[in-house]
A and B are shown apart, each in its own frame.
Chain A
Amino acid sequence: MKRRNFLRSSLGAGLAAGTFMSFGRLEKVLAGTPVPAGANYDLIAVMGGEPAAMFDMGIQAMGGMGTFVSKGQKVLVKPNIGWDVVPEKGANTNPALIKRIIEHCFRAGAKEVYVFDNTCDNWIKCYKNSGIEQAVKDAGAKIVPGNTESYYQEVTIPNAKKLTSTKVHELVLSSDVFINVPILKNHSSARMTGALKNMMGVVWDRGYWHRNNLNQCIADYALFPQKPALNVMDAYNVMMRNGPRGVSVADLSNMKSLMLSTDWVAIDAAGAKMLGKEPGSIEHIALAAGMGIGKMDLSTMNIHRMKM
């Protein structure tokens, strides 16, 4: 806190300028995000292809990207770029998948597509070595920093038990459509990381979550209104142990799979199964399902399975 105070007093002018400039965002927050219609399946699962080709197939089954993105909209694509490792290590979302998703967004008429993550390792190295920065630029989208607190704005989360307020990245508030693209991994803190856990990369203070019942906070965040319209889970190379960073490629299982769903509890339940775990044994999935955020019982879901 001492440092922060020091900053506040010495950079007063800068902060004042920053506050002034952030007024523009508020109207958009109030306008809210329209809920897309047309997704008939609870879950779409594709297996056996390369990430981009599997996405082509999966999104077609969902009625195309036009179901989620309309002409002139601003889209936020949120991968997991948490670690300074190369794509082969399977710790970050596959860059080819991100590139293809962005291309679909533009084809659906998106005005602008943004990509960011609040990384764990040094963010510049993460963006670069994950291959995602290049993929985003190649696709014509914008890669945006999330490395300083000034990019984040305080929001309240209605009905939350522990995470009643948090600071989220301004892009979550200013985008019209939010597409969540986690990579499925074993995780030493939360047992697994998928769609719900991926939201720890849109907030500033993750430590708060860890201090205040991690699993409850993960479930609580899902109550925040600006939620993903679509979740795409990368399960091409799945880290079965030593997650979320991984120690070597020996930790990976080449499952060549991809899942899509508008229900992030459902997609996480499927992910848990792929990691060899019961969805109910993953505490944050059970909590989220209990809070009515989504479905976790795979047996009652309308699942569309496809193989390439």
Chain B
Amino acid sequence: MKSSALKHIRTVFAVLVLLLFAFLFIDFRGTLGEKAFGPILYLQFVPSLLKFLIAGVAAATGFIVVIILTLLTGRTYCSFLCPLGILQDAVSRVGGLIKRRFRKYGYKKPYTFLRYFILVLTAGILLLGGVYALTILDPYSIFGRFMTYFAKPVALFINNLLASLLGKFDIYTLYKVSIKPFELAAYIVPFAFLLLIGLLAIRYGRLYCNTVCPVGTLLGLLSKVSLFRIRFEESNCTRCGRCALSCKSSCIDFLNKHVDISRCVNCFNCIDACKENGMSYGLVRLKKKDKQEGTGTDTSRRTFIAGSMVLLAGGSQLLRAQNTAPTPTKDSTVKEDRLYPVTPPGSIGIESFIARCTACSLCVSACPTNVIQPSVNEYGFAGIMQPRMDFHSGFCNYDCNRCTDVCPTGAIMPLMIEAKKLTQIGKAVFIKDNCVVNTEKTACGACSEHCPTKACHMVPFEGNLLIPEIKDEICIGCGACEHACPTKPYKAIFVDGNAIHEAALKPETEKLEAVPSDFPF
């Protein structure tokens, strides 16, 4: 097929996908229904793969669709479906506006060693140690963090300015939303990648996708045998080099009339750039092997991959040994003596959660109460950015299960609202020595006030005072008590996580006395 329409179709499609995914993460008014998340996220490669392989959800077949798509058409995923890839295209356009030569690419040799090393490293760690490398490198999760950590606050800032302005005219259709930064350390990885990917995209197009991204490399391998691909129409080509200049992947060697198909992301810019109909996209033509594609390189690559796998086995085992469920760190000087961090409802337990979560932060963004926050070292160093329940930031709304609806990797499994209300993610622990009622001898009870099950209830204390007491069996660990507790700097009540979530009992109800039929005054 020869048509510059292909490029325009790609551009329009990609813009829509980018806007959709940006909205998914920035939607601070929670306008997207819970049913929308599944279909939108279905085709994201890494989340689908993890949900299928680790969480064992048979319906998570999106990655198979992507593999088939790649075998048929090449790396269409990278230009049409990967939000991070599309974002880089947008950034490289901006780069072109800054300096026109930034968008003139030309052929460059691939960083073959680095590409395959990262792919093997990621796969090895996944198979033997856990999800940690994917947490850092999954393109969808990187995009999610860009949106949640950087784009959403900007959107909120603009919203708040507008809301403030409209408020002066007595219009309250927009409302202000407080912008709450995460803990500083959680920004390290996203910020480093923002710089890395941003700078590479401005000047070198898709260099990140063809050097660092493990999904890009994997799909690149598959696309080497794809049915449809970009190719030279040798009779038309005048070797003018426009195609190579327009190629964001720097994969067109026009002098040799060769396209490095493993790096081609099907953006179709070259077809559009060629004035002579010298480039086309179509069914692969079988021909005799080129000199460049000798078998020698392939063997050495295979040996390298096999070798690295063996090497990695040991390394990942070491990593695994260090980073299973966090070990209790009791320290008598710390007032809130939390043995375990609290994982969101539906995550089953700490170990299964941290084995599946790639820290895309969609739950962080979707949570209406901001109780889900990126961790720093609560799950150990390798679990950085994986979310936890932070009851200083908010508490888990009793009638809400939004996080269980949005998670694409199966780290948080769907939980019906009635089941969620009986899922104990942790237990409240009362520290009498911190409590206002005990220290100040004045009434408080903010904890019990907020408790949805009255697991935290008030019992007689000195004089006319009441003091909290906790019924473990009906506590669900929502953290309303901890959030409401007014003491500083340490709370007088806090939730200690359940390493494995348990079932809470239903609060008992007794009948009241008869309704009075007259005023008691």
Total count of chain A residues near the partner, CB < 8 A = 68
Does the CB pair A189–B444 fall under 8 Å?
yes
Q: Give B508's nearest chain A residue, CB to CB.
A: A247
Given the complex of chains A and B, what is the CA–CA distance between A298 and B520 in angstroms? 10
Decide if A51 is an interface residue (CB 8 Å cutoff). Answer: no
Q: A305 contacts which chain B residues (CB < 8 A)?
A: 519
Does the CB pair B172–A143 fall under 8 Å?
yes
Does the CB pair A251–B177 fall under 8 Å?
no
Q: A208 contacts which chain B residues (CB < 8 A)?
A: 486
Decide if B37 is an interface residue (CB 8 Å cutoff). Answer: no
Decide if A210 is an interface residue (CB 8 Å cutoff). Answer: yes
Does the CB pair A245–B172 fall under 8 Å?
no
Decide if A276 is an interface residue (CB 8 Å cutoff). Answer: yes
| Selected interface stretch from A59-67, A96-104, A145-153 | A145-153
Does the CB pair B181–A255 fall under 8 Å?
no
The one of A7, A122, A191 that contacts B368, using a Cβ cutoff of 8 Å: A122
Decide if B445 is an interface residue (CB 8 Å cutoff). Answer: yes
Q: What 0/1 pattern do residues 136 to 161 of A give for CB contact below 8 A with B? A: 00000011110111110000000000
Decide if A124 is an interface residue (CB 8 Å cutoff). Answer: yes
CB distance from A299 to the nearest CB of B (A): 8
The one of A125, A149, A251 that contacts B178, using a Cβ cutoff of 8 Å: A149
State which residues 504-520 of B face A: CB under 8 Å: 507, 509-513, 515-516, 518-520
Decide if B238 is an interface residue (CB 8 Å cutoff). Answer: no
Q: What 0/1 pattern do residues 178 to 209 of B give for CB contact below 8 A with A? A: 11110000000000000000000000000000
With A84-B397, A122-B369, A251-B512 known as contacts, the answer to whether A298 contacts B521 (CB < 8 A) is yes
With A122-B368, A147-B175, A283-B464 known as contacts, the answer to whether A250 contacts B454 (CB < 8 A) is no
Does the CB pair B176–A147 fall under 8 Å?
yes
Decide if B168 is an interface residue (CB 8 Å cutoff). Answer: yes
| Selected interface stretch from B92-100, B157-165, B229-237, B381-389 | B157-165
Does the CB pair A247–B509 fall under 8 Å?
yes
Given the complex of chains A and B, what is the CA–CA distance between A288 and B446 in angstroms? 21
Does the CB pair A17–B486 fall under 8 Å?
no
Q: B436 contacts which chain A residues (CB < 8 A)?
A: 210-211
State which residues 1-40 of B face A: CB under 8 Å: 29-30
Does the CB pair B449–A145 fall under 8 Å?
no
The one of A147, A188, A255 that contacts B445, using a Cβ cutoff of 8 Å: A188
The one of A47, A188, A247 that contacts B458, using a Cβ cutoff of 8 Å: A188
Does the CB pair A274–B520 fall under 8 Å?
yes
Does the CB pair B450–A14 fall under 8 Å?
no
Given the complex of chains A and B, what is the CA–CA distance between A21 and B168 in angstroms? 7
State which residues 255-301 of A face B: CB under 8 Å: 255, 257, 269-270, 273-274, 276, 281, 283, 298
Q: Give B178's nearest chain A residue, CB to CB.
A: A148
Of B168, B400, B442, B509, which is in contact with the most chain A CB atoms at under 10 Å from its CB?
B442
Does the CB pair A17–B177 fall under 8 Å?
no
State which residues 391-410 of B face A: CB under 8 Å: 397-400
Decide if A18 is an interface residue (CB 8 Å cutoff). Answer: yes
Does the CB pair A273–B521 fall under 8 Å?
yes
The one of A17, A148, A207 that contacts B446, using a Cβ cutoff of 8 Å: A207
Decide if A240 is an interface residue (CB 8 Å cutoff). Answer: yes
Does the CB pair B442–A248 fall under 8 Å?
no
Q: B443 contacts which chain A residues (CB < 8 A)?
A: 189-191, 213-215, 283
The one of A150, A212, A248 that contacts B176, using a Cβ cutoff of 8 Å: A150
Q: Give A259's nearest chain B residue, CB to CB.
A: B519
CB distance from B43 to the nearest CB of A (A): 31
Decide if B112 is an interface residue (CB 8 Å cutoff). Answer: no
Decide if A45 is an interface residue (CB 8 Å cutoff). Answer: yes
CB distance from B372 to the nearest CB of A (A): 13
Given the complex of chains A and B, what is the CA–CA distance between A215 and B448 in angstroms? 16
Given the complex of chains A and B, what is the CA–CA distance between A217 and B509 in angstroms? 33
Q: B451 contacts which chain A residues (CB < 8 A)?
A: 245
Q: Give B466's nearest chain A residue, CB to CB.
A: A188
Q: B521 contacts which chain A residues (CB < 8 A)?
A: 45, 269-270, 273-274, 298, 303
Given the complex of chains A and B, what is the CA–CA distance between A21 and B176 in angstroms? 15
**Which A-B residue pairs are the 6 nearest by beta carbons?**
A189-B445, A207-B486, A188-B448, A210-B486, A250-B509, A145-B175
A191-B443, A240-B512, A273-B519 are known; give 11 further A-B pairs, CB within 8 A: A3-B181, A84-B398, A112-B170, A190-B445, A208-B486, A211-B440, A211-B486, A215-B442, A250-B510, A254-B515, A274-B519
Q: List 28 A-B contacts (CB under 8 A).
A: A45-B519, A47-B518, A112-B170, A120-B450, A121-B397, A122-B397, A124-B368, A125-B397, A125-B400, A142-B172, A147-B175, A147-B177, A148-B177, A149-B178, A188-B466, A189-B446, A189-B448, A190-B443, A206-B446, A210-B444, A211-B444, A212-B442, A213-B442, A216-B442, A240-B512, A250-B509, A251-B509, A274-B521
